[in-house]
A and B are shown apart, each in its own frame.
Chain A
Amino acid sequence: MSAPTLPANAGSSPDSAGHYGRYGGRFVPEALVAALDELDLAYRTALTDESFQAEFGTMLREYANIPSLLYRAERLSAEVGARILLKREDLNHTGAHKIRNVLGQALLTKRMGKPRVIAETGAGQHGVATATAAAYLDLECVVYMGEVDTQRQALNVARMRMLGATVVPVTSGSRTLKDAMNEAMRDWVANVDRTHYIIGSTAGPHPFPAMVRDFVRGIGVEARQQSLDLDGKLPDAVAACVGGGSNALGIFHAFVPDDDVRLYGFEAGGDGVETGRHAASITGGSSGVLHGARTYVLQDEDGQTRESHSISAGLDYPGVGPEHAWLHDIGRARYAPVTDAEAMSAFQLLCRTEGIIPAIESAHALAGTLKIIPALTAELGRKPTILVNLSGRGDKDVHTAGEYFGILDGEQA
């Protein structure tokens, strides 16, 4: 395969103000509008700038181990009664799809002549990726992380610090990802002259959702070609987990025009949507405005954001990218929740059948896939081929999973 670069039709779907139907847009303090306009211009220029694309492609290829493999998971397939293809984003440098977005935005930061980047992080995955890109491109880096998460993910805090980043524990609100995002916004308003805010998903005000999608959509472009090379045809379905939505849009976007390819997004159902303890913004939330965009939000009757719950820190967010809200409403993609228990069962299945320890986020994609196999088989009248985005590896989750399964020394029941 040739070097993955930004495709010519990237940046196509929202209107010029960043609306996907009634979703998206910009709900931000006026003080940020100039910076968003500057960013929008830089990003649109980069889309058609051959030197930017060449540099981005080289970074992905030579630094981040991209294109990632498409892997036929044969033992897993035999076990579950469907042909499963895994897009191995877990093999990327820093262990997830996130590096694609971060390298793209860090390169843009350089082009805009700004010396400093900030980021929010929940699990620490996006923070680590940002700290990595900052070290690689010689940028000053500050990462905001909820105090609760700095304790849950102490290893990633150490990682970011090793890479030279400053990690700021956030003590406001629920002290988790959404509050880290608030704090990063506040930093950005105050320091916007010399700072770019690297948002970690397809969320936030325009142009972030479109820009992040365009930096990660190589996942789907590659996987689509890899499927054609492998099978001579496209898969029947594509599945991904949905937190903010970047890995899902990354793999969906190239398939959106392929009407026969079903798209499935699996949200974090936590203890079950019916319990209220979940992070399923589309299936368990309602339309609202959060962090700069109109989208599906977990909120109470007065529009106050509700706390989300998930075993997966990377999916534990009470909003979702506006393009997903739109794909849901127009019916092009289907969204469903997956509980903690279902995800952990799929996590174990992949470990045992394939020798791959997935990120718990990615285990949600696999768990959701297992649930759709019977109906899809019946609909097609044959065994389906399903492309699953294995968005990241589970190294960061070993402690959580070890506790969950009771296999940490001294903790065994």
Chain B
Amino acid sequence: MAVAFEKARAEGRAVLIGCMPAGFPTVEGSIAAMTAMVSAGVDVIEVEIPYSDPVMDGPVIQRASDIALAGGVRTADTLRIIEAVAGTGAPVVTMTYWNPIERYGVDAFARDLSAAGGTGLITPDLIPEEAGEWLAASEAYGLDRTFLVAPSSTDERLAMTVGHCRGFVYATALMGVTGARERTSDAAPTLVSRVRAVTGLPVGVGLGVGNGVQAAEVGRYADGVIVGSALIRCLLDTPDEATGLAALRTLSAELAEGVRAVQR
């Protein structure tokens, strides 16, 4: 992960992080999708473990997660997917609501994630105060910890949260759920500079990016541009898998160009 950020920094650009739920539209289909994203220029793959009650997610990710769960995807399948995608050479980070991890066993999951080649976890509904077991397990297995910061976080909380992060920090640019929007957030640059004031870690910005222009815009001030719903939509609104994958490649390439369009 650190290598991806360093390489992009050397090229004077931001890292492109593309998100896809594990098992959507099927286990094999999600591996194909993520592999296609990598070959089209996405630097880092964020694999989301599908969950029945994803309160941070908008309708697109909800629908994709429901499809994955209805298809019977299990946590063990997610680990298999991570292993396959890590095999492409791209760093793979996992995003997950907390209950599936708690159910699997925090230490056991950290062990198996590490064995599968995953770099760490983004935890949207886990704050450092509740993360005792995860702090210990991530130390034990050398995994990255990405907690979220928000525009509403006080300076004190922001410093505390960032202090518990390793790998990169996730700045939720909008007060709201995931989903591509016509405009990205005005609050994001301010939030990123607040994070920079307390850490040297790279900062990823998520929520709202849907096209190359927006990726360029966010890439101007953030170290990582995180894209989910817009990529997932390529596979939701498609007559067949081949067409969906083609759209996914096109959008991935456009976003990859976007982050390269600005020199920092």
- List the interface of chain A (C-beta within 8 A of B): 17, 25-31, 33-35, 172-173, 178-179, 182, 185-186, 189-193, 288-292, 294, 297, 299, 301-305
Taking a contact as CB atoms closer than 8 A, the residue among A33, A301, A303 that contacts B152 in the complex is A33
State whether B52 touches A31 (Cβ < 8 A).
no
Mark contacts of B31-71 with chain A using CB atoms, 8 A cut-off: 1 yes-contact digit, 0 otherwise: 00000000000000000000111111011001000100100
Cα A37 to Cα B104 with chains together (Å): 30
State whether A33 touches B56 (Cβ < 8 A).
no
State whether A289 touches B98 (Cβ < 8 A).
yes
Query: Contacts A288-B99, A289-B102 known; A30 to B75 CB distance under 8 Å?
Result: no
Indicate if B161 sits at the interface (CB-CB under 8 A): yes
- Tally B residues with Cβ within 8 Å of A: 41
State whether B100 touches A26 (Cβ < 8 A).
no
Chain A residues, Cβ within 8 Å of B54: 182
Chain B residues, Cβ within 8 Å of A182: 53-55
The 6 closest A-B pairs by CB, nearest first: A303-B103, A190-B176, A31-B150, A34-B152, A303-B100, A303-B99
Cα A299 to Cα B75 with chains together (Å): 14
Chain A residues, Cβ within 8 Å of B147: 30
Cα A395 to Cα B78 with chains together (Å): 48
Expressed in whole angstroms, the minimum distance between the Cβ of B136 and any Cβ of chain A is 16
Chain A residues, Cβ within 8 Å of B100: 302-304
Expressed in whole angstroms, the minimum distance between the Cβ of A210 and any Cβ of chain B is 16
Taking a contact as CB atoms closer than 8 A, the residue among A17, A25, A178, A294 that contacts B53 in the complex is A178
Q: List 27 A-B contacts (CB under 8 A).
A: A26-B127, A26-B129, A27-B130, A29-B55, A29-B124, A29-B172, A30-B127, A30-B149, A30-B152, A30-B157, A31-B150, A33-B153, A33-B157, A34-B152, A34-B153, A35-B152, A173-B53, A178-B53, A189-B175, A190-B174, A190-B175, A190-B176, A192-B175, A193-B175, A299-B99, A303-B101, A303-B104
State whether A186 touches B175 (Cβ < 8 A).
no
Query: Contacts A30-B172, A33-B127 known; A290 to B74 CB distance under 8 Å?
Result: no
State whether A288 touches B75 (Cβ < 8 A).
no
Indicate if B139 sits at the interface (CB-CB under 8 A): no
Secondary structure at the A interface, as helix, strand, loop or mixed, is mixed
Query: Contacts A30-B127, A31-B152, A304-B52 known; A190 to B177 CB distance under 8 Å?
Result: yes
Mark contacts of B137-165 with chain A using CB atoms, 8 A cut-off: 1 yes-contact digit, 0 otherwise: 00000000001111111100100010000
Closest to B50 in A: A304
Cα A172 to Cα B98 with chains together (Å): 20
B88-119: which residues lie under 8 A (CB-CB) from chain A? 98-104
Cα A27 to Cα B124 with chains together (Å): 9
Cα A305 to Cα B98 with chains together (Å): 12
State whether B130 touches A25 (Cβ < 8 A).
yes
State whether B99 touches A186 (Cβ < 8 A).
no
Chain A residues, Cβ within 8 Å of B99: 288-290, 297, 299, 303, 305
State whether B148 touches A29 (Cβ < 8 A).
yes
Closest to B148 in A: A30
Cα A178 to Cα B100 with chains together (Å): 17
Chain A residues, Cβ within 8 Å of B55: 29, 182, 185-186, 189, 291
Chain B residues, Cβ within 8 Å of A35: 152
Taking a contact as CB atoms closer than 8 A, the residue among A28, A172, A299 that contacts B59 in the complex is A172
Cα A27 to Cα B96 with chains together (Å): 12
State whether A30 touches B161 (Cβ < 8 A).
yes
State whether B152 touches A192 (Cβ < 8 A).
yes
State whether B103 touches A31 (Cβ < 8 A).
no
Indicate if B11 sits at the interface (CB-CB under 8 A): no
Expressed in whole angstroms, the minimum distance between the Cβ of B226 and any Cβ of chain A is 15
Cα A25 to Cα B129 with chains together (Å): 9
State whether B53 touches A302 (Cβ < 8 A).
no
Chain A residues, Cβ within 8 Å of B58: 186
Cα A299 to Cα B101 with chains together (Å): 13
State whether B177 touches A186 (Cβ < 8 A).
yes
Indicate if B126 sits at the interface (CB-CB under 8 A): yes
Chain B residues, Cβ within 8 Å of A172: 59, 62, 66
Sample of 15 more A-B contacts, CB < 8 Å, known A29-B55, A29-B172, A304-B69: A26-B127, A30-B152, A33-B127, A33-B152, A34-B154, A173-B66, A189-B55, A189-B176, A190-B174, A192-B175, A290-B53, A290-B99, A299-B99, A303-B51, A305-B52
Chain B residues, Cβ within 8 Å of A291: 53, 55
Closest to B58 in A: A186
Chain B residues, Cβ within 8 Å of A302: 74-75, 100, 103-104
Chain B residues, Cβ within 8 Å of A17: 129
Chain B residues, Cβ within 8 Å of A192: 152, 175
Chain B residues, Cβ within 8 Å of A305: 52-53, 99
